[in-house]
Each structure stands twice: as C-alpha cells, then as structure tokens.
A and B are shown apart, each in its own frame.
Chain A
Amino acid sequence: MKTALFASAAVIALAAFGTTAAFAQSRDTIQIAGSSTVLPFASIVAEEFGATFPEFKTPVVGSGGTGGGLKQFCSGVGESTIDIANASRAMKAGEREACVAAGVTDIREIQFGFDGIVFASAATGPDFALTPVQVFKAIAAKVPVDGELVDNPYVNWSDIDASLPAQPIQLAIPGSNHGTREVFQEKVVTAGAEEAGLPEGLSDEDKLAVETTFRQDVVVEIAGDYTETLARLTSNPNTVGVFGLSFYDQNKDTLKVATVDGVVPSLETVAAGEYPVSRPLFFYVKGQHIGTIPGLEEYVQFFLSDSISGNGGTLEAAGLIPQPSEKTAEVLAAFEAGAQ
C-alpha cells in the first residue's frame, strides 16, 4: 500500500513537472480558428500543407465563427494564442482596436476567394425564384404597405408575390455569430428594404430597426453550422434555408437552390459577379508570430498558390470561388511587404 502511495505522489510530482516543462517547449504547429465557412477550405489547405512540406507539422484548424475566431486572435501575442483567424467578413474597426489594445499590432489581411450565399429548400418541394425585396417582405417584422409600416401580414410566399409557391413562409437563417449573417443582412434584407421603399421621414435608427427586426414566429436563427440548418429543412420541408454555396454543392441530392434576381448561383455566376449574394473570404495572420511559429509564412504562400486557391485548384473543387489572379498577387505582395 505504501508503495502505491509513493507511486501516486511521484506521479503527481511528475505531472506537475510536465506542466512546467510545457512552458519551456515552443509550439511548432500553426494554430488556426474562426469562421465555419472558411473551415473546410482551411482544413484542406492544412492537410495539403502538411503533406507537401515534410519539415512542418500539419496546422490545426478550429472553428468558433468569424467573431469567435477574431476574439481569440485578438487576445494577445504568444504561443497560447492562435496565429491565424479565418473570417467570412472583413475585420471591423472595433475588433482591430481590441487587437491593438491587446498587443496584436501586426495584423495581415489575406483575401483568398469568394463564397456565394444561397437560399435552398427541400429537393422535393417547389422551385423558388426569389428577389431581395421578397425575402425582406417575408422576414421583416414590419413591412411597408401603401406607404405605412404595418405588422407583417404575409402567411404564404404567394401572398408576397403570385409567382412564388403557395407555401407557408418559414426561414432558417444563420445566427448573429456567423459572418454569413452579416452578408445576408447587408446584401439581401437591407437591399430588399431599400427596394421595397420604407416610408419617408423615418429616422436612421427606425430604419435600421425595421431592417433588422425579424418575425420571431417564422424565422429560426441557427447558431450551429449548416448541418443544423439542413436538419431544420428535413424536419419541416416548408423551410427555406440560407446556406453557403459550397455546402449546397455537397448536398445537391437533398437540396434545391433558389435563384436570386433570376440568377442561378454557381461558381461561374458568382465569379462573374452576376449572382448578387456573395462575399469575399479572408484570413488574418498575426505578423508577430512569423519567425516564431515555423511554417507560418510558407502556409500563407502555399494557400495563395495557384494549385490551391487558383482557377482549377484544389479549393475550387471543394466549392471555393477563386478570385482573379491579379488580386491574389496583390494580396501576397502586401503580406510579404509586412505590417500594413
């Protein structure tokens, strides 16, 4: 029994020692977190990076949403903080301030491509041909009718426009922790509200309230990822969900995509700028970690290389919409030039 006691004491001591040893050991794996839209792309690049560069370890890619990732990114400089934050929108001024306040002064923005945001419904259901104004009318708590703001009276899609199916309005949209939500808000709802023509004489604040207050009874905000949105559609086939184009691409057998302003979302229409609801994708690199964390610079160069994020590259096959190669060259040059 005594030996057992001594053994346990030794083990505890050893564990404590191991803990202190951790401080001394330097991290040799790139740590990434952030947007769940960028996650699949970043994971693929991480794997390919690990396979191509035998001298570097495979980077670790976490999720947590754009906001969560940037928060982690801005928590400071050092080995226990992440090196790269994936983002499906650009960093906000407030986030940049928080970053700088925590000592993260060298932030390098990398834009690497585009993603489309699509409306999709169950493959068995009717076709949808939507416009931003129709979506606004379906989703807003108050809508303008004859120049007056009234509580949203629409029950079926066909009440909004006779061309839409006679199906109850049900929407599953990304929660506010997702970067997708902001693009959806800006490019669809706000654009739709403007087109619908809000009554004259509304203050900016009231306008914003109309544009951002959604009907609680028919709109579900999904905090998780697209699989959760898909589960909504499966349980209630009347739901129209908001997805990333790449997710839709992988699940074409169960989803049917809606056109927006008559344009079918696809790699081609988004790249050509015809499809209205798209956004650039980013990741942010902590410049202060370059040189400390091995492979960080190479990872960025590898990510932006033609065979990965270029036309016909690995990421295009996974659903990324490549950006023009001039833009990539510009981004890479800015990255290599150092702190902006």
Chain B
Amino acid sequence: MTNISTPTGRQASIERTRRVRDGLRRRHLHEALFKGFGLAAIIAALGFVAILFTDVLIKGIPAFTQANLHLEATFDPAIIDVGPAPVRTAGQSDADFRAASLGWQRDVALLNWNKVVEASLRAAAPAGFEIDSRQILTVAETNARHVLREMFVNDPSLLGQTIKVDLLASANADNWVKGNIDRELGDAQQQLSAPARALIDIFEENGTISMGFAWSIFTNVDSRAAPASAGLAGAFMGSLFMMVIVILLAVPIGVASAIYLEEFAPKSRLTDLIEVNINNLAAVPSIVFGLLGAAVFINYFKLPLSAPLAGGLVLTLMTLPTIIIATRGALQGVSPALRQAALGMGASKTQMVFHHVLPVTFPSILTATIIGVAQALGETAPLLLIGMNAFVASIPATPLDQATALPVQIYLWQANENRNFFEARTSAAILVLLGFMILLNAIAILLRTRLERRA
C-alpha cells in the first residue's frame, strides 16, 4: 500500500490526476464530437426537407389560382334546336319517363355546344378581332360546352336567354397568363396560336379573364379532355374509403392479435415463430402486398378492379404488422405491478387486461394506428397492381366503385403529357396530401395528450 505523503506516493498521485484529466478531456472531446455529428445530421436532414418543401411550395402554390373567364352566354335557339324537355304525363311509368328524359338529354348532348361557347367568346372580344373558330375555342377549356349544356338540361327555360357564366380558361391559356411558357418563343414552339395569345392578353386587360382560387382542385375529378378542370375529389374519396376500411379492419384485428399474443398465448416455439414472422412482415416491401392482393382479392375472390375495397384490404394487410408490433410493445411497457394488483384483487385475466392494462396503453395504440394509417395513405406501389392507377373520371360513391388514391393521382399527374400545366397541379396534389397527413398527425397528438392526461 502506498502512502500519499511519501515522494513516490505523491508522484503516483500526480500521475493519476494527469491520467484522469487526460481521460476526461478525451471523453469531453468524444462527447463534443458526437454532439457535433448529431447536430450536423439533423441540419442536413432538415436542409433536404426544407429544399424539398420549398420546391413543392414554389411549384404548387400557383396551381391554387386559376384563370377564369367571365362571359355572357346566349342560349341561342338557332343553335339549341331541340324539342322541349319531356314533362311527366299522368299515367306514364317511371321507366318510360326515364327513357324519354334520357333520349332528350342525348339529343341535347349531340348539339354543337361549342358554337355557344364560341359565340360568347366572340361577344367578349373587341369588334373586328380576327380569329378563326378553332383558335378562339382554345381560349376556353374544352369542358365549357358540357358546363353550358348541363346548365341548360337543369333549367330548359334558359333557352333564348343571355346570362353571365364563369368558365375555366384552358390549361394553355392559364399557362400563358401565368407566364409558365416563355413569351419570347416563336409561333412554332407555342401551344396557342398568335391570335389566341393576343386575345388572351386583351381579355386579361379588360377583365374578362381574371385569376381566382382554383376550387376545381378540390371539387372536380381528374380530367384529360379538360386539364384545367382536373381535380382531386375522386382520388380523395378513394383514399378516404381505403382509410376507413384500414381503420375498421386493421385496428380491431391488430389490437386483438397483439393482446392474445402478449397476454394469453403460451410462450412456445410456435408463438416465437409467429412473432418472428410478424416482425418480418412489417419489413416486407409494399409491392409484395400488392402482388398478393392482385392474386388473392382480384383473381381469387373476384373483387372489382380498381375498387377502394380491394385497395383497403391490401393496405390493411400492410398495416397489420405495424399495429400488432406497436400494441405489443405498449402492453410490454405496462408495469407488472398493475397486473399483479389486479389479479391480487381477484380480477380474472380478461378483466385484468381489459379493465386495467389496455386503458393505459390507449395513447400508444392510437399513435401506432395513426402512423400505420398515414403510411397506408401514402402508399402507391401496391395500388398500381390492383388497377388503382387507372384514369377514373367519376367520384366513387361506394368502396366498390372504381377509384384512384391521392398518391396515385400524384403519380398519374406527373406523367401527364401536358407538363407545363400538370407540373404545378402535381405539386398542388402533394401539398393536399401533406396537409391531410399533417391533419392526421395533429389529431393523433391531440388525442394522445388528452388520453394521457386522463390515464
């Protein structure tokens, strides 16, 4: 044993202090380095996210405004040359009336409504402005004639009247007004003819064309014939149906399996095997679930192609492992004291689980569910394999109707050949999807904090 007071002892003590100080410096350095790396990683990650978001925002925000035409349309009887709308006569059967009314609607549809559109555009153009029919029609979106026709079908008394209508300007006109196309390019490189471009400039000056909020993005379905009217309503409903199916199926099945595996199942080779497989399933690429869905739901169970029901079932399979794993984790985190206390008071195992353990885990299960659903909401690959990447121009009314989903719509729009217009629409769709995700996550956090406070 060395004595500190002896010279050798003092030397040893100095040596030890030096070693400790060196060690301390090294440890501090390591800590500083680690902190530095961590900070750099976060800054880099945030930087990339910031770049991505700025890019999407810059590209997407202009798509939320759109060029509108304010015109006066005349329902000229010379063009709209049809008989009066059938009126239901006494004693007429439902089927007969329907047939008569459909026949009349088809007659109306076969009229040349473009003439009405053209006349209203010409009425707004300065007198003597020279432009041919085909060129002037490129100013308004091609759905203008359907809009006018529907107004007439809904109210046949419009015949002969002149009313104010708001129509969408065509996608090319929108591009021109927004300056998405270089104005200096020659005629050969422009989508619109020179007179049409000049007319748009005049319209912009005299207020016939004005920019307005693009409600069509939210209220309309996808459109190729009339790009300016393309919207997300169909895709949104498709996504909504799928999410509801995922929540209704994945949550009860996932939570029940987790509870059984964690609380009731005997610990054996078999349950170990199941656990390993569930963990593996969580890591399986989503496209594999798509293949499975196509083989099982479409080919075997003959579910309709492109239906949110099939999509929802595939996404349920994909979300199940996430929910099971998270729920099991939450159950494992519950203190054994709680279980023992419950059992000690004479509760049965089921009572212990449902009355005492499960309520404590609600916040975590909820978080896991929302994360799982959000993941399912953003999933594209499996949907491509069950035909949900189709062009669907109607809003699905039930989960059995054909539909697309928001992320698939993004995929479809980015591939649209009218790139000048759809580049912005694609980014706008991304913003809508992100908004939806943020909303979901906000709900999750809100619910979790409320439940945690109560627990």
Contacts and interface: CB of A to CB of B under 8 A. Distances in A.
A267 to B, nearest CB: 13
Interface in B409-435: 414-420
A31 B389 CA distance: 12
A330 B73 CA distance: 40
Contacts of A48: 225
Interface in B148-203: 149, 181-182, 185, 188-191
A80 B391 contact: no
The prevalent SS among residues of B at the interface is loop
A250 B224 contact: no
Interface stretch (A52-60, A110-118, A162-170, A174-182): A52-60
Given A225-B415, A253-B182, A253-B185, A62 B303 contact: no
Contacts of B69: none
Given A25-B400, A52-B106, A79 B417 contact: no
A230 B256 CA distance: 50
Nearest to A39: B391
A64 to B, nearest CB: 8
Interface string A6-37: 00110110010011001101010101110000
A247 interface: yes
Interface residues of B, number: 58
B305 A31 contact: yes
Contact of B402 (A60, A226, A318): A60
Contacts of B304: 22, 27, 79-80
Contacts, number: 144
Contacts of B402: 29, 31, 60
Interface range on chain A (Cβ under 8 Å from partner): 35 or more
B407 interface: no
Nearest to B394: A58
Interface string A227-257: 1101000000000000000110011111000
Interface string A300-340: 00000000000000100010000000000000000000000
A310 B357 CA distance: 71
Nearest to A21: B400
Interface in A137-194: none
A269 interface: no
Interface string A75-117: 1001110100000000000000000000000000000000000
A50 interface: yes
B301 A19 contact: yes
Given A52-B109, A60-B392, A15 B248 contact: yes
A131 interface: no
Contacts of B301: 19, 23
Interface of B: 102, 105-106, 109-110, 142, 146, 149, 181-182, 185, 188-191, 223-226, 245, 248-249, 251-253, 256, 298-299, 301-307, 309, 354-355, 358-359, 387, 389-394, 399-402, 414-420
Given A15-B249, A254-B419, 7 more contacts: A1-B354, A44-B224, A52-B106, A54-B109, A78-B302, A247-B417, A253-B189
